[in-house]
Amino acid sequence: MFVRFVLALALIIAAPFAHAQTNRAGTNTRYLTLQECIDLALSKNLDVQIQRVSTDIANYTFTSAFGAYDPSLSIFGRRDFLSQPLELDVKKTGLDAPYKLTTDSVGGGLNGKLPIGLSYQIGARAAEAKAITDFRFNTNLFPEFGFTNNPTTNFPGGFRRTNEFFANAGFTVQQHLLRDAWIDQERTLIHVRRKELKMSEQAMMFQIMRTVLAVEVAYYDLVAARELVRVEEKALELKDQFVAETRRRVEVGDLPPLDSEQAETQLEITRTALIAAREAWVSRQNALKFLITDDFRELVDIDLQPAHDLTATERRLIRSESFKSALSQRPDLAEARLAIERSDVEVRFYKNQLFPNLDLFGHYGGVGIHSDGSSAVSDALHFRDQEYYYGVVLTVPLARIRERSDYAASKARRELAELQLKKAEQQVFLQIADLVNRVQSRFSQVGSTRKARVYAEAALAAEQKKLQNGLTTSFIVLQLQEILTGARTAEIQALADYNEMLAQLAFAEGATMQQHRLEFRWR
């Protein structure tokens, strides 16, 4: 009575702890469908994130190419000072008077380029010139103009002070007519960067497809690993039952002791196989966890369980349709075609560089000179006194060695891009043809392995009954148990291989996104 009371008390005390342990185990187990794993991978897989950032960089690089057409605004203020000493002018009878000149100027301009090959510059400048001329060195100042011989009479202290304002405003343009006319380095860069951005978008889609495929394969491998653990557990259960029955019959003398030793040997072999299967199960879990998270530590202690079992649904396959689908939907092939288009842009540019430079240029503006600053600026802005020039200049390279070589190299790069596309298409066709054959073969294996497993189960059940009646030996029963375990393993592997082959075929066709109803939205 006392013993029963103690046991009951121990059960009551231990119950909350057992419940807590059960809940803890439950919280560490997470069931995921294949679609949930794919969704996690698309948001957290590091390869997808890296490619997404690479695509962002390509977008920024493309946008920066338009910076060549950003106009530049410049504003300046400047002071110039010159102290000119007395000097002899060999063209005159006398000496040039010394002077000091101070010039203050302000102005600004706007310059840039247009996508049609036109360069422009718009500017304006206003300045004030202050001069002090020293005439004290000469007492015979220009008598022909009525000046006296005393410089201080005409210029107080012998110094003449002058003050003058001048301004100019106008614009200058230059237009390429041949070389750099319909395409130049800046426009080439924009076209190339646009193609590279589209190529990066295709690379992004292709990376998503690769990640989805990797998740599918890892998921099917995980389901197969779980089923293989169950197979080995069933095999171990059969071995345990067989060992117990053999021991009993050896004890009563129905079987020799050797049969018991054989049964024990097979039991330990099966236990070893179960340990290996559980090791593979953990490894498959880790492989899937790595694909669906960017922080492996948050999932390392989670018991990740697939929410689906392996099934096999026959798919009607037509190789020609698969070829057509791959040509129209594979992102890597689209990227290769964009590489050809990028080469076309370079060929067009280098062909243009073979032409001579023929440029049309011109300038139109106004000037103003006045003792009043506002009047000088007004005259310049209203073009009261105009200045202009225009013309054309032709520059012809004589040898054009570099231009010819660059053009030939660009055509060779285009040919290389075409060959690379053709090779990629051939590899895809080969991959599809191989996968179509494998899918058909694996589906046949699914049916044959299922039948083999059913026959093995029936054969083992019949042989066990014969052993109970003394009509067979334990050795044969052990062999049939091994055959059943092998048949179950083969069936699971065939199911996993079939599903993986279907996933790989969808990837080869470029249909992975459509198959899982995924939409690519980068921007």
Judged by phi (left if over 0) then psi (alpha if -120 to 50, else beta), residue 331 lies in alpha
Task: Note the pLDDT of residue 244.
Answer: 85
CA 86, 87, 89, 95 torsion: positive or negative? Answer: positive
How does DSSP classify residue 317? -
Task: Note the pLDDT of residue 96.
Answer: 79
CA-wise closest residue to 28 among 222, 277, 305, 219:
305
Higher pLDDT: 356 or 19? It is 356
Task: Note the pLDDT of residue 7.
Answer: 32
> Is residue 113 within 8 Å of 71, Cβ to Cβ?
no
DSSP output for 186-203? HHHHHHHHHHHHHHHHHH
Could you read off the pLDDT of 237-267 as tens digits, one per residue? Answer: 888 888 888 788 777 777 778 877 888 888 8
Which residues lie below 8 Å from residue 207, measured CB to CB, with a gap of 6+?
Answer: 47, 48, 51
Could you read off the pLDDT of 35-67 as tens digits, one per residue? Answer: 999 999 999 999 999 999 999 999 999 999 999
Question: What is the Cα–Cα distance from 132 to 83, expressed in whole angstroms?
Answer: 9
Looking at this protein, which amino acid is placed at residue 182? W
Q: What is the pTM of this model?
A: 0.81
Q: How high does pLDDT run on average in the chain? A: 87
Could you read off the pLDDT of 74-94 as tens digits, one per residue? Answer: 999 999 999 988 887 777 766
Length of the chain measured in residues: 523
How does DSSP classify residue 470? T
CA-wise closest residue to 34 among 506, 523, 520, 521:
506
Assign 426 to helix, strand or coil: helix
pLDDT band for position 446 (cuts 50, 70, 90) = very high
> 367: which 2 tokens?
């000037």
Query: Worst-scoring range by mean pLDDT, 98-107, 131-140, 184-193, 424-433?
Result: 131-140
Higher pLDDT: 268 or 523? It is 268
Assign 479 to helix, strand or coil: helix
The percent of residues above 70 in pLDDT, for the chain, comes to 90
> Is residue 113 within 8 Å of 124, Cβ to Cβ?
no
Query: Is domain 33-61+190-345+405-515 annotated with CATH 1.10.10.10?
Result: no
Strands annotated E in 135-266: 159-176
Task: Note the pLDDT of residue 138.
Answer: 61
The percent of residues above 90 in pLDDT, for the chain, comes to 65
**Annotated domain spans of the chain:** 33-61+190-345+405-515, 71-114+118-179+357-395
How does DSSP classify residue 141? -
On the question of pLDDT at 101 being above 80, the answer is yes
